[in-house]
Amino acid sequence: MIPSPAPSRRPTWAAFVREPFSRQAWREFLYGVAALPVAVAGFVFTAVSLVASAILTVIVVGLPLFALSSFGVRWLGAVNRSLARRLLGLRVAPPPRLLLEPGLVGLVRSGVGDRPSWRARGYLIVKLPIAIVEFVVAYLLRLGAVWFVLAPLQWAANLGTERVDDHGMVRHYVLNFGSFYFDTWSKTFILVGLGVVAWWIAPWALRMPLYLDRQLLADLLGPTSLASRVSQLERSRAEVIDDADAQLQRIERDLHDGAQAELVGLAMKLGLAKEKLAATGSAGDDQDLARARQLVDDAHRSAKLAITELRDLVRGIHPPALDEGIEVALATLSARSSVPVDVTVTLAASPSPAIETTIYFCAAELLTNVAKHAKASVVHMELVQSGDLLRLGVADDGVGGAHLAGGGLSGLADRLDVVDGQLEVLSPLGGPSVVTVTIPLQP
């Protein structure tokens, strides 16, 4: 069968006639009506907060107040976005969250300097005239159309106006354009025609201010293209990290269930064969038998060596201790340490496997460093969650002098970079040393 071409979306007369009654037209009409009160509220809030803050800056409170108004304009921006999403089907992603820095100075700096808030203010100011135009076109044009179409009825019901015109004539009419009076039954049908035209023009006319509104919404209330690119990259990187970790775990499991098990089975068979060969009476000078014994012996040794090597490899890929959670893994690590370690873990929920792996390797490296260089007698290790951050602290009472430039610690810093983690080293000569690793829970 020959695939039929997709029907072209050429506007037909039928579509044009139906347009004022389409779902889209009604939604746009609703938007045009509803946008006005929202726009007035947005304009008033923005203007008042700007002016009030400017005045109150004299008595200092102006700037913090203005910083706080950033939340208000962002919220109003969200209301506008939600209105546009529900009625116009326009999806605009919210800008990145506003993160206030601690302290009054931090509040002012982050609140006043918040670019998405400034862009929202711009939108809220410009929106007012646009909303007025939208309202007039959406509401008044249709209201007028209805009124025009009903003109003959008004005439018939004798609802018209009566007035003496400039020439002293008594006019009984429904509407006048200057000195043209719709004052006869038949003339009112011109109004019907005009009303019908207005009704069909209304949805198209509304789309002009709406077009402008859509552009401004997307440009001013969404994330900047750079910000959205950054958040997109952050998301995809988090996925890559989790994927990589899941893949390593899969490899580890495959090795365990496959190659490792097969090797153990092989080594067992060789071990048994070795015994059987040894038990075979050493009858005479059978050189082949001696050679076979030697071969099986070698093969047995190789198989055992391969098992050991594979185990070490697997431990480097994905530490099996992690399967039972980070707390257990850290306890196992500290049990292996030659310097006594006391471990405290305070977590509300378990972090993602990738984060757990990073924490584990950091802890392992830090404990190795302590054992190698610090000459410490005790280590305190602590893993706590505070807000969105995980903090691993390793403190020892050793000789100090550790620094980031060293091989081990700089390697750690590289590993941490991948998950946006940070490494802080406090290790004066003579000790004690405190190394703190901070990792965001959501990479």
Partner 1 sequence: MRVVIAEDSAVVRAGLIEILLDRGHVVPAAVGDGDALIEAVAQHHPDVAIIDVRMPPTHTAEGLRAAVALRRTHPHLPLLVFSQHIETRHVEELLAGPDSGGVAGVGYLLKDRVADVEEFLDALDRVVAGGTALDPEVIAQVLGASRRSRQLETLTGREREVLAQMAEGRSNTAIAEALVISERAVEKHVSNIFSKLNLPPSQIDHRRVLAVLQYLSG
Are 376 and 398 in contact by the 8 Å Cβ rule? The answer is yes
Rule CB under 8 A: is residue 270 a binding residue for partner 1? yes
Rule CB under 8 A: is residue 262 a binding residue for partner 1? yes
Rule CB under 8 A: is residue 380 a binding residue for partner 1? no
Give the shortest CB-300-to-partner 1 separation in angstroms.
Answer: 7
Rule CB under 8 A: is residue 239 a binding residue for partner 1? no
Rule CB under 8 A: is residue 311 a binding residue for partner 1? yes
Rule CB under 8 A: is residue 39 a binding residue for partner 1? no
Distance, CA of 141 to CA of 126 (rounded, Å): 22
Question: 3-class secondary structure for 282-304?
Answer: CCCCCHHHHHHHHHHHHHHHHHH
Give the shortest CB-102-to-partner 1 separation in angstroms.
Answer: 40
According to DSSP H, which parts of 19-102 are helical?
A: 23-56, 62-83
Specify which residues 181 forms β-bridges with.
176
337, 352, 385, 436: which one contacts partner 1 (CB under 8 A)? 337
The piece of 5-13, 71-79, 318-326, 398-406 that touches partner 1 (CB under 8 A) is 318-326
- Closer Cβ to partner 1, 110 or 368, answer by number: 368
Distance, CA of 403 to CA of 14 (rounded, Å): 78
Rule CB under 8 A: is residue 328 a binding residue for partner 1? yes
Give the shortest CB-346-to-partner 1 separation in angstroms.
Answer: 20
- Closer Cβ to partner 1, 114 or 245, answer by number: 245
The piece of 174-182, 189-197, 268-276, 345-353 that touches partner 1 (CB under 8 A) is 268-276
- Closer Cβ to partner 1, 228 or 337, answer by number: 337
Any idea how long the chain is?
Answer: 443
The piece of 101-109, 155-163, 254-262, 424-432 that touches partner 1 (CB under 8 A) is 254-262
300, 376, 435, 439: which one contacts partner 1 (CB under 8 A)? 300
**Residue 116: strand, helix, or coil:** helix
Distance, CA of 134 to CA of 118 (rounded, Å): 24
Tokens 């257990």 found at: 328
Burial of 343 (0-12, 13-18, 19+ CB in 10 A): middle
Rule CB under 8 A: is residue 279 a binding residue for partner 1? no
According to DSSP H, which parts of 339-404 are helical?
A: 353-369
**Residue 22: strand, helix, or coil:** coil
Are 394 and 408 in contact by the 8 Å Cβ rule? The answer is no
Backbone CA torsion sign across 278, 281, 284, 289: negative
The helix-helix angle for 188-221 and 141-149 (nearest 10°) equals: 170
Distance, CA of 434 to CA of 439 (rounded, Å): 16
**Which of 239, 243, 244, 249 has the alpha carbon at shortest distance from 323?**
249
Rule CB under 8 A: is residue 265 a binding residue for partner 1? yes
| DSSP 8-state code for residue 321 | G
| Number of residues lying near partner 1 (CB under 8 A) | 37
Rule CB under 8 A: is residue 275 a binding residue for partner 1? yes
The piece of 133-141, 171-179, 309-317, 430-438 that touches partner 1 (CB under 8 A) is 309-317
Rule CB under 8 A: is residue 304 a binding residue for partner 1? yes
Give the shortest CB-291-to-partner 1 separation in angstroms.
Answer: 21
Rule CB under 8 A: is residue 375 a binding residue for partner 1? no
Give the shortest CB-275-to-partner 1 separation in angstroms.
Answer: 5
Rule CB under 8 A: is residue 280 a binding residue for partner 1? no
Are 90 and 218 in contact by the 8 Å Cβ rule? The answer is yes
Give the shortest CB-406-to-partner 1 separation in angstroms.
Answer: 24
Give the shortest CB-252-to-partner 1 separation in angstroms.
Answer: 10
The helix-helix angle for 225-255 and 353-369 (nearest 10°) equals: 70
Where along the sequence are the contacts to partner 1 (CB under 8 A)?
Answer: 253, 256-257, 260-262, 264-265, 267-272, 274-275, 300, 303-304, 307-308, 311, 314-315, 320-321, 323-324, 328, 331-332, 335-340
